[in-house]
Structure 1
């Protein structure tokens, strides 16, 4: 299984749209790029999605390969395949992390999500989401509204499906 992203970080965005990718996140991009080796630049895919997306999603190469495989299994011409190809192929950019550990976010992508001087990275398993700090605060409030009412002290892992015990 590929490595997963964990955690969140707020980083500065310079005038050229460069953001430093924290080392813990760079390691995941490196480990999840089959062509990466020491001295090479790890590759990734930025998905900027539909017009209502207020974030960018940075996918590892392995994660994008998995998404591509799943999309290719859908029927050609199906609404589902057309939608997913539009988002994950048409609204995406392949890029790399430079030798200084930075990622250049193209101006059109920065403008799309309103990114100016600060970016907020939050882990999403095999991808990172990039938000403005303000838009992420709105998103976090939206997500909190989706959480069921728990008893005080309840374990949020109770939302996961129960593990199946193997009979032996």
Structure 2
């Protein structure tokens, strides 16, 4: 099984758009790049998407290839075209520099309003980069929406067990 991203971190963004990548994230990126070896710069793909996305999603080479394969397997449709445009067209291939930093182009920083700090949050085989204030607002909104479906004090892991039990997949 492939290594997965875990955790959340906040890092400073310098005037050139350079931001450090959490050390553990770098290990996952390296493991997810089949061409990476010691001394080379590991590659990633940043999907920025259309105006509805207020964060950047970072994929390892293996993760973006798996996503590309899933999209390619879809029948021709408006959804397939939209996914192809987002994943292939509204994305940026880049690499991690020798100091463990990512250079975010001005266009991407402006898209999500990134200025002095970047908030990183793991999302399984990808991670997201947010403007910290935007993420906090998004999380507050999400918690309010979730509140109707999950009784107060419920541990989300318990809820996962309930879903698995209902499906008979336990």
The answer to whether the superposition gives a TM-score over 0.5 is yes
Is the 1:2–1:62 Cα contact (8 Å) retained in structure 2?
A: no
User: Hey, what does 2:135 align to over in structure 1?
Assistant: 136
Alignment of 1:145-156 (within 5 A): 145-147=144-146, 148-152=149-153, 154-156=154-156
| 1:71-150 map, 5 Å | 71-76=71-76, 78-147=77-146, 148-150=149-151
On the 8 A contact 1:3/1:31 being kept in 2, the answer is yes
Aligned positions of 1:20-35 closer than 5 A: 20-35=20-35
CA-CA distance at 1:157 after TM superposition: 2.0
The answer as to whether partners of 1:45 and 1:61 remain within 8 angstroms in 2 is yes
Residue of structure 2 in register with 1:42 after alignment: 42
Higher helix share: 2
TM-score, normalization by structure 1: 0.92
Looking at structure 2, the residues matched to 164 and 12 of structure 1 have their Cα atoms a distance apart, in angstroms, of: 43
Structure 2 residues without counterparts, runs of 5 or longer: none
| Deviations 1:90-119, CA, capped at 9 Å, x for gaps | 100110000110000000110111111100
Is there any run of 5+ residues in structure 1 with no aligned partner, and where? none
Q: Are the structure 2 counterparts of residues 23 and 82 from structure 1 closer, same or farther at C-alpha, using a change threshold of 3 Å?
A: same
Q: Once the two structures are superposed, what CA deviation does each residue of 1:103-155 show, in whole Å capped at 9, x if it has no partner?
A: 00000110111111100001111111101111011111122123223253x33
The answer to whether the 8 A contact 1:43-1:61 is kept is yes
Indicate the SS of the match to 1:93: strand
1:164 has 2:163 as partner: no
Distance in 2 between residues matched to 1:138 and 1:40, nearest whole Å: 38
- Which structure 1 residue ranges, 4+ long, deviate > 3 Å from structure 2? none
